[in-house]
Amino acid sequence: MIKAGYKQTEVGGIPEDWDIKTIGQICRLINGRGFKPFEWKNDGLPIIRIQNLNGSDEFNYYDGIYDKKIEIENGQLLFAWSGSRGTSFGPHVWRGSLGLLNYHTWKMVVKENEVDAEFFLHALKQQTKFIEDNAHGASALVHTQKWEMEGFEVALPSTKPEQTAIAKALSDTDALIQSLSQLIAKKRQIKQGAMQSLLNPYDETGELKSGWVVKNLGDIFEITAGGDLRKSEFSDVQNENYPYPIYSNAHTKEGLYGYCQTYDYEGQVITISARGGIGYAVSRNHKFAAIGRLLILKPNQNTECRYVAEYINLKIEFANESTSVPQLTAPQVAKYKISLPQYKEQTKTAQILTDMDTEITTLETKLSKYQKIKQGMMQNLLTGRIRLV
């Protein structure tokens, strides 16, 4: 059902006073030049490739004759027409010095009498998923052709003031998200620096710090491996009948696989992934079950597991015992050495790092919330469900 004051179009329901225009009506697409490796130089103008649109600061340069139409200035709207879904494919704004556009990317020369350029950027972002779904290629790497791109449609408010108001609201939200992302990155760098200092066992002379000891992991932990999945007790969803998490060798979600009716471990322990991406350590202090080759390290003396897990992830690189799929065994892990301060210092260090992680997690939760808000704003503002003018 279309409510009063709205009309049904190819791009969905929009206000009756809005227009539908094709990308070809709104802008001119200029393809980049296919620079050959023998043309790459160490001096000249930087060649802007897709990897540079994704943040890479590694450039090849060109110092020969070129068509002025492939010059790219700071702030130019581009569209990578061949690339990976969700990352490189789609619209980008060049944020760098004067450069030359490489092949596989269009320079989008916006007809400013047709549309507010900043509004058009947000409309393109909204349309990218649809363009990807109609593109050619494999599931991950896709491409679209110029004539196809020119035919895709976008909805436009009929007045520039409304376009500008929508663009400002979305851009302000983008700026907030970017600022929060930068803060999270800075906090992670601070934590990394703190870890390098707090987990460093040596003094300025290169000697082991006073009170520190070096021990094998097998001396301070009982090391066992996870068992088979108990299918009769398994659930994808946590509830009162399946309250206990099951962990595996995966890194995502700290290895969470599902939920179980019973548990195998409780109290302070460390798990280490021992197959595939080996060596990922997580400190756990709750009841859980473990499956596969996940190794479980249970302390047999006063040892702060959070401290040890951080030390393992920062300083230990486990050797692969297999010639095919990487894997670890309990006897192998037991031989690795770790430097430990007194237990009181271990707990103090662990608390500092935990507090840092808590702050980062809080910021990440806020970032996720703002990103969802932005998605909702795009759905509402770019379809006219909410009018700002």
Q: What is the DSSP letter of 324?
A: S
Is pLDDT above 70 for 322? no
Query: Residues of the chain with pLDDT > 90: what percent?
Result: 84
Provide the pLDDT for residue 323. Answer: 63
Provide the pLDDT for residue 67. Answer: 96
Give the containing element (helix H, strand E) for 378. helix 343-381
Provide the pLDDT for residue 324. Answer: 76
Residue 117: what residue type? A
Provide the pLDDT for residue 74. Answer: 96
Nearest Cα neighbor of 224 from 330, 335, 299 is: 330
Residue 287: what residue type? K
| Residue 130, helix vs strand vs coil | helix
Is pLDDT above 80 for 359? yes
pLDDT digits (tens, 9 = 90+) for 75-98: 999 999 998 888 889 999 999 999
pLDDT digits (tens, 9 = 90+) for 197-249: 999 999 999 999 999 999 999 999 999 999 999 999 999 999 999 999 999 99
Domains and CATH numbers, the chain: 19-156 (3.90.220.20), 158-204+341-389 (1.10.287.1120), 213-340 (3.90.220.20)
Q: How far apart are CA 15 and CA 7, in angstroms?
A: 6
| Residue 9, helix vs strand vs coil | strand
- What is the reported pTM? 0.83
DSSP characters over 17-48: T-EEEEHHHHEEEEE-B---GGG-BSSSEEEE
Contact 173, 382 (CB under 8 A): no
| Alpha carbons within 13 A on the beta-carbon side of 195 | 21
Nearest Cα neighbor of 167 from 156, 182, 152 is: 156
Provide the pLDDT for residue 10. Answer: 85
pLDDT digits (tens, 9 = 90+) for 363-384: 999 999 999 999 999 999 999 9
Mean pLDDT of 318-341: 88
Provide the pLDDT for residue 325. Answer: 81
